[in-house]
Structure 1
Amino acid sequence: MNLAFVAQVVLVLLVCEQRVDSSYKRGFGMYYNYYECGDTYALNNTYWWYNWHYNFTKDVTYHCPRRTRGEYLPMIANEADTLDAEIPPESKYVLGFNEPNEADHMSPEWCAELWPRVEKIAGGRILVSPALAACDIYPDMCIDWYERFFKACPGCRVDKIAVHGYHCVPYELLQSLGKISSHFNRPIWLTEFACHGNVSSQDQINFMNIALPLLEQASFVERYAWFSQRNKQATTFMPNFSSNLLNLKSPTLTSVGLFYNDYK
Protein backbone atom coordinates (compact mmCIF):
# COMPACT_ATOMS: atom_id res chain seq x y z
CA MET A 1 0.00 0.00 0.00
CA ASN A 2 1.30 3.43 -0.95
CA LEU A 3 1.47 5.31 2.38
CA ALA A 4 1.56 8.71 0.67
CA PHE A 5 -1.68 7.88 -1.13
CA VAL A 6 -3.30 6.68 2.12
CA ALA A 7 -2.37 9.93 3.83
CA GLN A 8 -3.80 11.90 0.94
CA VAL A 9 -7.11 10.04 1.04
CA VAL A 10 -7.37 10.53 4.80
CA LEU A 11 -6.83 14.26 4.31
CA VAL A 12 -9.54 14.37 1.66
CA LEU A 13 -12.00 12.59 3.94
CA LEU A 14 -11.30 15.00 6.79
CA VAL A 15 -12.18 18.01 4.66
CA CYS A 16 -15.07 16.43 2.76
CA GLU A 17 -17.69 18.66 4.36
CA GLN A 18 -15.88 21.91 3.57
CA ARG A 19 -17.21 24.16 0.88
CA VAL A 20 -14.60 25.52 -1.50
CA ASP A 21 -14.59 28.19 -4.16
CA SER A 22 -15.58 27.23 -7.69
CA SER A 23 -12.54 26.11 -9.64
CA TYR A 24 -11.32 25.25 -13.09
CA LYS A 25 -12.00 21.58 -12.31
CA ARG A 26 -15.75 21.60 -12.82
CA GLY A 27 -17.24 20.79 -16.22
CA PHE A 28 -19.99 18.78 -17.88
CA GLY A 29 -20.69 16.59 -20.85
CA MET A 30 -23.13 18.07 -23.37
CA TYR A 31 -25.00 16.04 -25.94
CA TYR A 32 -24.80 18.22 -29.02
CA ASN A 33 -27.95 16.71 -30.55
CA TYR A 34 -29.83 17.71 -27.38
CA TYR A 35 -28.38 21.23 -27.32
CA GLU A 36 -30.65 24.19 -26.59
CA CYS A 37 -29.51 27.77 -27.13
CA GLY A 38 -28.27 29.11 -23.83
CA ASP A 39 -27.27 25.78 -22.25
CA THR A 40 -23.72 26.86 -21.50
CA TYR A 41 -24.95 30.19 -20.09
CA ALA A 42 -27.36 28.45 -17.73
CA LEU A 43 -24.36 26.54 -16.33
CA ASN A 44 -22.46 29.76 -15.82
CA ASN A 45 -20.36 28.58 -12.86
CA THR A 46 -18.83 25.66 -14.72
CA TYR A 47 -15.44 26.10 -16.32
CA TRP A 48 -15.34 23.64 -19.22
CA TRP A 49 -17.42 21.24 -21.28
CA TYR A 50 -17.18 18.73 -24.11
CA ASN A 51 -19.57 16.92 -26.43
CA TRP A 52 -17.91 13.59 -27.33
CA HIS A 53 -16.90 15.16 -30.65
CA TYR A 54 -13.95 17.09 -32.04
CA ASN A 55 -15.86 20.25 -32.87
CA PHE A 56 -18.97 22.10 -31.80
CA THR A 57 -20.20 22.55 -35.32
CA LYS A 58 -21.88 25.71 -36.46
CA ASP A 59 -24.85 23.75 -37.85
CA VAL A 60 -25.86 23.16 -34.21
CA THR A 61 -25.54 26.78 -33.05
CA TYR A 62 -26.10 28.85 -36.20
CA HIS A 63 -29.63 29.74 -35.10
CA CYS A 64 -28.54 30.87 -31.63
CA PRO A 65 -28.10 34.60 -30.89
CA ARG A 66 -24.97 34.03 -28.76
CA ARG A 67 -21.91 31.83 -29.02
CA THR A 68 -21.32 29.22 -26.35
CA ARG A 69 -19.40 30.16 -23.17
CA GLY A 70 -16.77 28.25 -21.24
CA GLU A 71 -13.78 26.24 -22.41
CA TYR A 72 -14.71 23.68 -25.05
CA LEU A 73 -12.56 20.54 -25.21
CA PRO A 74 -12.56 18.46 -28.40
CA MET A 75 -12.47 14.66 -28.35
CA ILE A 76 -11.13 12.03 -30.75
CA ALA A 77 -13.85 9.59 -29.73
CA ASN A 78 -13.15 6.58 -31.97
CA GLU A 79 -11.15 5.22 -34.89
CA ALA A 80 -13.23 7.10 -37.47
CA ASP A 81 -12.28 10.40 -35.87
CA THR A 82 -8.59 9.65 -36.40
CA LEU A 83 -9.18 9.89 -40.16
CA ASP A 84 -10.77 13.31 -40.51
CA ALA A 85 -10.81 15.21 -37.22
CA GLU A 86 -9.92 18.90 -37.27
CA ILE A 87 -9.26 20.42 -33.86
CA PRO A 88 -10.37 24.02 -33.26
CA PRO A 89 -7.20 26.14 -33.36
CA GLU A 90 -7.90 27.76 -29.97
CA SER A 91 -8.13 24.41 -28.15
CA LYS A 92 -5.42 23.68 -25.58
CA TYR A 93 -6.43 20.06 -24.87
CA VAL A 94 -7.54 17.00 -26.80
CA LEU A 95 -9.50 14.16 -25.19
CA GLY A 96 -8.82 10.58 -26.26
CA PHE A 97 -11.09 7.67 -27.19
CA ASN A 98 -14.41 7.35 -25.38
CA GLU A 99 -14.88 4.11 -23.42
CA PRO A 100 -12.89 1.86 -25.76
CA ASN A 101 -13.20 -0.95 -23.20
CA GLU A 102 -16.99 -0.93 -23.55
CA ALA A 103 -18.73 1.18 -26.17
CA ASP A 104 -16.38 0.48 -29.10
CA HIS A 105 -14.76 -2.74 -27.85
CA MET A 106 -11.28 -1.50 -28.73
CA SER A 107 -8.41 -3.44 -27.21
CA PRO A 108 -5.50 -1.59 -25.58
CA GLU A 109 -3.26 -2.81 -28.40
CA TRP A 110 -5.64 -1.48 -31.05
CA CYS A 111 -5.83 1.89 -29.31
CA ALA A 112 -2.04 1.96 -29.09
CA GLU A 113 -1.76 1.31 -32.81
CA LEU A 114 -4.10 4.23 -33.53
CA TRP A 115 -2.62 6.59 -30.95
CA PRO A 116 0.10 8.09 -33.22
CA ARG A 117 -2.77 9.41 -35.38
CA VAL A 118 -4.29 11.03 -32.30
CA GLU A 119 -0.94 12.60 -31.42
CA LYS A 120 -0.59 13.96 -34.94
CA ILE A 121 -4.08 15.50 -34.83
CA ALA A 122 -3.43 16.95 -31.37
CA GLY A 123 -0.16 18.53 -32.42
CA GLY A 124 1.47 20.07 -29.38
CA ARG A 125 -1.74 20.25 -27.35
CA ILE A 126 -2.10 18.57 -23.96
CA LEU A 127 -3.32 15.04 -24.64
CA VAL A 128 -5.72 13.12 -22.40
CA SER A 129 -5.81 9.32 -22.46
CA PRO A 130 -8.65 7.11 -23.64
CA ALA A 131 -11.44 7.38 -21.06
CA LEU A 132 -12.23 3.95 -19.64
CA ALA A 133 -15.56 2.90 -18.18
CA ALA A 134 -16.11 1.38 -14.73
CA CYS A 135 -12.76 2.48 -13.29
CA ASP A 136 -14.48 3.47 -10.08
CA ILE A 137 -15.65 -0.09 -9.43
CA TYR A 138 -12.77 -1.96 -11.09
CA PRO A 139 -9.63 0.18 -10.76
CA ASP A 140 -7.35 -2.85 -11.20
CA MET A 141 -9.07 -3.64 -14.50
CA CYS A 142 -8.35 -0.11 -15.71
CA ILE A 143 -4.76 -0.25 -14.50
CA ASP A 144 -4.28 -3.49 -16.42
CA TRP A 145 -5.82 -1.95 -19.56
CA TYR A 146 -3.54 1.09 -19.42
CA GLU A 147 -0.47 -1.05 -18.73
CA ARG A 148 -1.21 -3.07 -21.87
CA PHE A 149 -1.73 0.18 -23.79
CA PHE A 150 1.61 1.66 -22.71
CA LYS A 151 3.41 -1.65 -23.29
CA ALA A 152 2.08 -1.79 -26.86
CA CYS A 153 3.08 1.83 -27.46
CA PRO A 154 6.03 2.69 -25.22
CA GLY A 155 6.62 6.00 -26.96
CA CYS A 156 3.01 7.16 -26.82
CA ARG A 157 2.41 10.55 -25.27
CA VAL A 158 -0.33 10.69 -22.64
CA ASP A 159 -0.37 13.71 -20.33
CA LYS A 160 -3.49 12.93 -18.26
CA ILE A 161 -5.46 9.79 -17.40
CA ALA A 162 -9.21 9.94 -18.12
CA VAL A 163 -11.72 7.63 -16.43
CA HIS A 164 -15.47 7.34 -15.97
CA GLY A 165 -17.26 6.54 -12.74
CA TYR A 166 -20.88 5.99 -11.77
CA HIS A 167 -20.25 4.60 -8.31
CA CYS A 168 -22.79 5.97 -5.84
CA VAL A 169 -20.36 5.80 -2.90
CA PRO A 170 -18.15 8.91 -3.19
CA TYR A 171 -15.39 7.73 -0.82
CA GLU A 172 -14.86 4.53 -2.80
CA LEU A 173 -14.91 6.52 -6.04
CA LEU A 174 -12.08 8.73 -4.74
CA GLN A 175 -10.07 5.74 -3.53
CA SER A 176 -10.22 4.22 -7.01
CA LEU A 177 -9.20 7.46 -8.70
CA GLY A 178 -6.30 7.89 -6.31
CA LYS A 179 -5.09 4.35 -6.89
CA ILE A 180 -5.02 4.82 -10.67
CA SER A 181 -3.35 8.22 -10.44
CA SER A 182 -0.69 6.94 -8.05
CA HIS A 183 0.06 3.91 -10.23
CA PHE A 184 0.73 5.96 -13.37
CA ASN A 185 1.94 9.15 -11.68
CA ARG A 186 -0.45 11.23 -13.74
CA PRO A 187 -3.42 13.43 -12.79
CA ILE A 188 -6.94 12.11 -13.23
CA TRP A 189 -9.64 13.59 -15.41
CA LEU A 190 -13.03 12.18 -14.38
CA THR A 191 -14.79 12.95 -17.65
CA GLU A 192 -18.09 11.24 -16.79
CA PHE A 193 -19.61 10.73 -13.38
CA ALA A 194 -23.00 10.57 -11.66
CA CYS A 195 -24.93 8.16 -9.46
CA HIS A 196 -26.42 5.60 -11.83
CA GLY A 197 -29.59 3.57 -11.54
CA ASN A 198 -33.18 4.23 -10.61
CA VAL A 199 -32.38 7.08 -8.22
CA SER A 200 -34.11 10.38 -7.58
CA SER A 201 -32.88 13.92 -8.17
CA GLN A 202 -32.47 14.27 -4.42
CA ASP A 203 -30.28 11.14 -4.43
CA GLN A 204 -28.07 12.82 -7.04
CA ILE A 205 -27.84 15.96 -4.90
CA ASN A 206 -26.96 13.90 -1.83
CA PHE A 207 -24.25 12.19 -3.86
CA MET A 208 -22.90 15.53 -5.09
CA ASN A 209 -22.91 16.97 -1.60
CA ILE A 210 -20.20 14.49 -0.61
CA ALA A 211 -18.51 13.89 -3.97
CA LEU A 212 -17.87 17.50 -5.00
CA PRO A 213 -15.78 18.54 -1.99
CA LEU A 214 -13.82 15.30 -2.28
CA LEU A 215 -13.08 15.97 -5.95
CA GLU A 216 -12.21 19.61 -5.30
CA GLN A 217 -9.82 18.79 -2.47
CA ALA A 218 -8.12 15.80 -4.12
CA SER A 219 -4.87 17.01 -5.66
CA PHE A 220 -4.77 13.96 -7.95
CA VAL A 221 -8.08 14.97 -9.59
CA GLU A 222 -7.41 17.73 -12.10
CA ARG A 223 -10.83 18.00 -13.74
CA TYR A 224 -14.26 16.39 -13.53
CA ALA A 225 -17.39 16.51 -15.70
CA TRP A 226 -20.94 15.58 -14.75
CA PHE A 227 -23.03 13.34 -16.98
CA SER A 228 -24.75 15.25 -18.44
CA GLN A 229 -26.36 18.56 -19.33
CA ARG A 230 -29.45 16.83 -20.72
CA ASN A 231 -30.42 13.33 -21.75
CA LYS A 232 -33.76 12.96 -23.50
CA GLN A 233 -33.75 9.18 -23.80
CA ALA A 234 -34.47 6.99 -20.79
CA THR A 235 -32.18 3.97 -20.39
CA THR A 236 -31.80 1.20 -17.84
CA PHE A 237 -28.59 2.92 -16.77
CA MET A 238 -30.26 6.32 -16.28
CA PRO A 239 -33.99 5.49 -16.37
CA ASN A 240 -35.57 8.67 -15.02
CA PHE A 241 -33.43 11.63 -16.15
CA SER A 242 -32.40 12.28 -12.54
CA SER A 243 -28.85 13.28 -13.54
CA ASN A 244 -29.96 15.99 -15.99
CA LEU A 245 -28.46 19.37 -15.14
CA LEU A 246 -30.91 21.19 -17.42
CA ASN A 247 -34.59 20.78 -18.10
CA LEU A 248 -35.63 18.77 -21.13
CA LYS A 249 -36.93 21.58 -23.32
CA SER A 250 -35.27 24.75 -22.06
CA PRO A 251 -31.85 26.04 -20.96
CA THR A 252 -32.93 26.24 -17.32
CA LEU A 253 -31.44 24.47 -14.34
CA THR A 254 -32.99 21.44 -12.71
CA SER A 255 -32.61 21.06 -8.95
CA VAL A 256 -29.55 18.90 -9.66
CA GLY A 257 -28.18 21.50 -12.05
CA LEU A 258 -28.76 24.27 -9.53
CA PHE A 259 -26.75 22.41 -6.86
CA TYR A 260 -23.93 21.52 -9.28
CA ASN A 261 -23.71 24.98 -10.82
CA ASP A 262 -23.88 26.90 -7.56
CA TYR A 263 -21.68 24.64 -5.45
CA LYS A 264 -18.81 26.53 -3.80
Structure 2
Amino acid sequence: MMDLSTTSLLAAKAYKYKAESLVKDYLFADSYVSYTAVLGGILMCKMVYDITRLISSFYYKSYGSLTKIQKLEWNNRGMSTVHAIFITLMSVYLVFFSTLFSDELDGPVTLRNSNLSNVTLGVSLGYFTADLTMIFWVYPSLGGMEYVLHHMLSLVSLVYAIYYGEGQLYTFMVLISETTTPGINLRWFLDTAGMKRSKAYLVNGVTMFVAWLVARIILFIYLFYHIYFHYDQIKQMRTFGRFLIFVVPMVLLVMNTMWFAKILRGLKKTLAKRQ
Protein backbone atom coordinates (compact mmCIF):
# COMPACT_ATOMS: atom_id res chain seq x y z
CA MET A 1 0.00 0.00 0.00
CA MET A 2 1.10 3.57 -0.72
CA ASP A 3 1.85 5.72 2.28
CA LEU A 4 0.07 9.01 2.93
CA SER A 5 2.90 11.18 1.55
CA THR A 6 2.99 9.28 -1.75
CA THR A 7 -0.77 9.56 -2.11
CA SER A 8 -0.63 13.30 -1.40
CA LEU A 9 2.14 13.74 -3.97
CA LEU A 10 0.17 11.93 -6.67
CA ALA A 11 -2.93 13.96 -5.84
CA ALA A 12 -0.92 17.18 -6.10
CA LYS A 13 0.50 16.15 -9.49
CA ALA A 14 -2.99 15.26 -10.74
CA TYR A 15 -4.31 18.65 -9.58
CA LYS A 16 -1.38 20.43 -11.28
CA TYR A 17 -2.04 18.54 -14.53
CA LYS A 18 -5.73 19.48 -14.46
CA ALA A 19 -4.89 23.12 -13.79
CA GLU A 20 -2.38 23.22 -16.66
CA SER A 21 -4.92 21.59 -18.98
CA LEU A 22 -7.54 24.17 -17.98
CA VAL A 23 -5.17 27.05 -18.75
CA LYS A 24 -3.96 25.53 -22.03
CA ASP A 25 -7.25 24.18 -23.39
CA TYR A 26 -9.58 26.97 -22.26
CA LEU A 27 -8.05 30.17 -20.90
CA PHE A 28 -5.35 30.42 -23.60
CA ALA A 29 -7.17 28.62 -26.41
CA ASP A 30 -7.76 30.83 -29.45
CA SER A 31 -11.52 30.83 -28.89
CA TYR A 32 -11.22 31.89 -25.26
CA VAL A 33 -8.12 34.07 -25.19
CA SER A 34 -10.11 37.30 -25.63
CA TYR A 35 -12.39 36.46 -22.70
CA THR A 36 -9.32 35.71 -20.59
CA ALA A 37 -7.87 39.09 -21.57
CA VAL A 38 -11.07 40.88 -20.54
CA LEU A 39 -10.99 39.15 -17.16
CA GLY A 40 -7.30 39.99 -16.88
CA GLY A 41 -8.07 43.64 -17.62
CA ILE A 42 -10.67 43.78 -14.85
CA LEU A 43 -8.32 42.08 -12.37
CA MET A 44 -5.52 44.45 -13.40
CA CYS A 45 -7.78 47.40 -12.58
CA LYS A 46 -8.56 45.98 -9.14
CA MET A 47 -4.89 45.31 -8.44
CA VAL A 48 -3.69 48.76 -9.57
CA TYR A 49 -6.52 50.44 -7.64
CA ASP A 50 -5.42 48.70 -4.43
CA ILE A 51 -1.71 49.34 -5.06
CA THR A 52 -2.40 53.04 -5.67
CA ARG A 53 -4.32 53.23 -2.40
CA LEU A 54 -1.56 51.41 -0.52
CA ILE A 55 1.33 53.48 -1.92
CA SER A 56 -0.54 56.77 -1.50
CA SER A 57 -1.37 56.06 2.14
CA PHE A 58 2.32 55.43 2.88
CA TYR A 59 4.06 58.09 0.79
CA TYR A 60 1.50 60.93 0.57
CA LYS A 61 0.78 62.29 4.02
CA SER A 62 -2.30 64.27 2.95
CA TYR A 63 -3.96 61.20 1.42
CA GLY A 64 -5.62 60.41 4.74
CA SER A 65 -7.23 63.84 4.87
CA LEU A 66 -8.96 63.42 1.50
CA THR A 67 -12.69 62.79 1.43
CA LYS A 68 -14.01 59.33 0.60
CA ILE A 69 -14.92 60.41 -2.95
CA GLN A 70 -11.53 62.08 -3.44
CA LYS A 71 -9.75 58.90 -2.37
CA LEU A 72 -11.87 56.86 -4.75
CA GLU A 73 -11.10 59.22 -7.63
CA TRP A 74 -7.42 59.32 -6.67
CA ASN A 75 -7.18 55.52 -6.86
CA ASN A 76 -9.33 55.41 -9.99
CA ARG A 77 -6.97 57.81 -11.77
CA GLY A 78 -4.01 55.64 -10.83
CA MET A 79 -5.85 52.75 -12.48
CA SER A 80 -6.64 54.72 -15.64
CA THR A 81 -3.04 55.95 -15.90
CA VAL A 82 -1.66 52.41 -15.99
CA HIS A 83 -4.23 51.39 -18.62
CA ALA A 84 -3.43 54.48 -20.70
CA ILE A 85 0.29 53.71 -20.73
CA PHE A 86 -0.35 50.08 -21.66
CA ILE A 87 -2.86 50.73 -24.43
CA THR A 88 -0.88 53.63 -25.90
CA LEU A 89 2.31 51.57 -26.20
CA MET A 90 0.47 48.58 -27.68
CA SER A 91 -1.62 50.69 -30.07
CA VAL A 92 1.38 52.66 -31.38
CA TYR A 93 3.25 49.39 -31.93
CA LEU A 94 0.39 47.66 -33.74
CA VAL A 95 -0.51 50.67 -35.92
CA PHE A 96 2.92 52.03 -36.86
CA PHE A 97 5.53 49.31 -36.24
CA SER A 98 3.82 45.94 -36.59
CA THR A 99 3.29 44.45 -40.06
CA LEU A 100 -0.25 43.36 -39.13
CA PHE A 101 -1.89 46.38 -40.76
CA SER A 102 0.74 47.05 -43.42
CA ASP A 103 -0.52 47.94 -46.91
CA GLU A 104 2.23 45.72 -48.30
CA LEU A 105 0.37 42.59 -47.20
CA ASP A 106 -2.41 41.03 -49.22
CA GLY A 107 -6.00 41.43 -48.14
CA PRO A 108 -7.99 44.31 -46.63
CA VAL A 109 -6.46 45.96 -43.56
CA THR A 110 -9.98 46.29 -42.20
CA LEU A 111 -10.35 42.51 -41.79
CA ARG A 112 -7.03 41.76 -40.09
CA ASN A 113 -6.51 40.68 -36.49
CA SER A 114 -4.19 38.52 -34.42
CA ASN A 115 -4.01 36.96 -30.98
CA LEU A 116 -1.90 39.90 -29.81
CA SER A 117 -4.37 42.48 -31.11
CA ASN A 118 -7.32 40.59 -29.60
CA VAL A 119 -5.61 40.27 -26.22
CA THR A 120 -4.74 43.97 -26.23
CA LEU A 121 -8.32 44.96 -27.04
CA GLY A 122 -9.60 42.49 -24.45
CA VAL A 123 -7.52 44.07 -21.68
CA SER A 124 -8.78 47.50 -22.71
CA LEU A 125 -12.37 46.22 -22.75
CA GLY A 126 -11.84 44.96 -19.20
CA TYR A 127 -10.63 48.40 -18.13
CA PHE A 128 -13.52 50.32 -19.71
CA THR A 129 -15.98 47.87 -18.16
CA ALA A 130 -14.49 48.36 -14.69
CA ASP A 131 -14.21 52.13 -15.07
CA LEU A 132 -17.75 52.55 -16.38
CA THR A 133 -19.02 50.46 -13.47
CA MET A 134 -17.27 52.82 -11.05
CA ILE A 135 -18.67 55.87 -12.86
CA PHE A 136 -22.23 54.53 -12.47
CA TRP A 137 -21.52 53.51 -8.87
CA VAL A 138 -20.72 57.05 -7.69
CA TYR A 139 -22.33 59.02 -10.53
CA PRO A 140 -21.63 61.85 -11.24
CA SER A 141 -18.54 62.14 -9.00
CA LEU A 142 -16.19 60.50 -11.55
CA GLY A 143 -17.71 62.18 -14.59
CA GLY A 144 -20.98 63.19 -16.18
CA MET A 145 -22.83 62.02 -19.28
CA GLU A 146 -19.94 62.91 -21.58
CA TYR A 147 -17.81 60.28 -19.84
CA VAL A 148 -20.63 57.75 -19.99
CA LEU A 149 -21.03 58.40 -23.74
CA HIS A 150 -17.27 58.14 -24.30
CA HIS A 151 -17.06 54.81 -22.45
CA MET A 152 -20.19 53.36 -24.07
CA LEU A 153 -18.85 54.14 -27.55
CA SER A 154 -15.53 52.59 -26.57
CA LEU A 155 -17.21 49.45 -25.21
CA VAL A 156 -19.36 48.90 -28.31
CA SER A 157 -16.39 49.44 -30.63
CA LEU A 158 -14.13 47.11 -28.65
CA VAL A 159 -16.72 44.32 -28.44
CA TYR A 160 -17.33 44.52 -32.20
CA ALA A 161 -13.62 44.61 -33.06
CA ILE A 162 -12.89 41.60 -30.86
CA TYR A 163 -15.94 39.49 -31.75
CA TYR A 164 -15.87 40.03 -35.53
CA GLY A 165 -12.16 40.84 -35.92
CA GLU A 166 -12.98 43.82 -38.14
CA GLY A 167 -11.85 47.44 -38.06
CA GLN A 168 -9.17 46.83 -35.46
CA LEU A 169 -6.74 49.22 -37.15
CA TYR A 170 -9.09 52.17 -36.62
CA THR A 171 -9.92 51.01 -33.10
CA PHE A 172 -6.22 51.16 -32.21
CA MET A 173 -5.87 54.57 -33.86
CA VAL A 174 -8.62 55.89 -31.62
CA LEU A 175 -7.12 54.21 -28.55
CA ILE A 176 -3.84 56.06 -29.10
CA SER A 177 -5.72 59.12 -27.84
CA GLU A 178 -5.43 57.55 -24.36
CA THR A 179 -1.87 58.93 -24.36
CA THR A 180 -3.35 62.17 -22.98
CA THR A 181 -4.82 60.45 -19.92
CA PRO A 182 -1.67 60.42 -17.72
CA GLY A 183 -1.32 64.19 -18.19
CA ILE A 184 -4.96 64.78 -17.31
CA ASN A 185 -4.64 62.63 -14.20
CA LEU A 186 -1.39 64.29 -13.14
CA ARG A 187 -3.10 67.67 -13.44
CA TRP A 188 -5.86 66.49 -11.10
CA PHE A 189 -3.30 65.04 -8.66
CA LEU A 190 -1.37 68.33 -8.56
CA ASP A 191 -4.57 70.34 -8.09
CA THR A 192 -5.79 68.06 -5.28
CA ALA A 193 -2.37 68.21 -3.61
CA GLY A 194 -2.52 72.04 -3.57
CA MET A 195 0.21 72.49 -6.21
CA LYS A 196 -1.83 74.50 -8.68
CA ARG A 197 0.71 77.35 -8.69
CA SER A 198 3.76 75.12 -9.02
CA LYS A 199 6.04 74.95 -12.05
CA ALA A 200 5.08 71.30 -12.48
CA TYR A 201 1.44 72.34 -12.94
CA LEU A 202 2.40 74.79 -15.70
CA VAL A 203 4.65 72.30 -17.49
CA ASN A 204 1.91 69.70 -17.25
CA GLY A 205 -0.60 72.12 -18.80
CA VAL A 206 1.63 72.89 -21.78
CA THR A 207 2.48 69.20 -22.28
CA MET A 208 -1.18 68.23 -22.08
CA PHE A 209 -2.09 70.89 -24.65
CA VAL A 210 0.48 69.56 -27.15
CA ALA A 211 -0.37 65.91 -26.50
CA TRP A 212 -4.09 66.58 -26.93
CA LEU A 213 -3.51 68.47 -30.18
CA VAL A 214 -1.44 65.61 -31.62
CA ALA A 215 -3.29 62.55 -30.27
CA ARG A 216 -6.90 63.74 -30.26
CA ILE A 217 -7.06 66.25 -33.11
CA ILE A 218 -4.31 65.67 -35.70
CA LEU A 219 -4.36 61.88 -35.36
CA PHE A 220 -8.14 61.83 -35.87
CA ILE A 221 -7.72 63.91 -39.03
CA TYR A 222 -5.17 61.32 -40.22
CA LEU A 223 -7.67 58.57 -39.34
CA PHE A 224 -10.30 60.08 -41.65
CA TYR A 225 -7.62 60.53 -44.33
CA HIS A 226 -6.82 56.81 -44.02
CA ILE A 227 -10.51 55.90 -44.18
CA TYR A 228 -10.93 57.92 -47.37
CA PHE A 229 -8.10 56.11 -49.18
CA HIS A 230 -9.15 52.67 -47.92
CA TYR A 231 -12.88 53.02 -48.45
CA ASP A 232 -12.92 50.12 -50.92
CA GLN A 233 -11.66 47.88 -48.12
CA ILE A 234 -14.07 49.34 -45.57
CA LYS A 235 -16.98 48.41 -47.88
CA GLN A 236 -16.08 44.74 -47.30
CA MET A 237 -16.96 45.04 -43.61
CA ARG A 238 -20.36 44.39 -42.08
CA THR A 239 -22.86 47.25 -42.15
CA PHE A 240 -22.64 47.87 -38.40
CA GLY A 241 -18.85 47.88 -38.60
CA ARG A 242 -18.91 50.55 -41.30
CA PHE A 243 -21.34 52.55 -39.17
CA LEU A 244 -18.97 52.40 -36.20
CA ILE A 245 -15.94 53.43 -38.26
CA PHE A 246 -17.64 56.61 -39.45
CA VAL A 247 -19.79 57.56 -36.46
CA VAL A 248 -17.60 56.77 -33.41
CA PRO A 249 -14.49 58.73 -34.50
CA MET A 250 -16.68 61.65 -35.62
CA VAL A 251 -18.49 61.84 -32.26
CA LEU A 252 -15.21 61.52 -30.37
CA LEU A 253 -13.58 64.20 -32.53
CA VAL A 254 -16.39 66.62 -31.66
CA MET A 255 -16.00 65.81 -27.98
CA ASN A 256 -12.20 66.09 -28.22
CA THR A 257 -12.49 69.49 -29.88
CA MET A 258 -14.81 70.76 -27.13
CA TRP A 259 -12.46 69.49 -24.41
CA PHE A 260 -9.49 70.94 -26.30
CA ALA A 261 -11.13 74.38 -26.21
CA LYS A 262 -11.47 74.04 -22.43
CA ILE A 263 -7.81 73.03 -22.11
CA LEU A 264 -6.78 76.02 -24.19
CA ARG A 265 -8.82 78.41 -22.03
CA GLY A 266 -7.39 76.88 -18.88
CA LEU A 267 -3.83 77.19 -20.18
CA LYS A 268 -4.40 80.82 -21.10
CA LYS A 269 -5.65 81.58 -17.58
CA THR A 270 -2.67 79.82 -16.02
CA LEU A 271 -0.19 81.73 -18.19
CA ALA A 272 -2.00 85.06 -17.54
CA LYS A 273 -1.71 84.59 -13.76
CA ARG A 274 2.06 84.12 -14.06
CA GLN A 275 2.70 87.33 -15.98
Q: In which range does the TM-score fall when normalised by the shorter chain? A: under 0.3
Q: Higher helix share goes to which structure? A: 2
Q: Higher strand share goes to which structure? A: 1
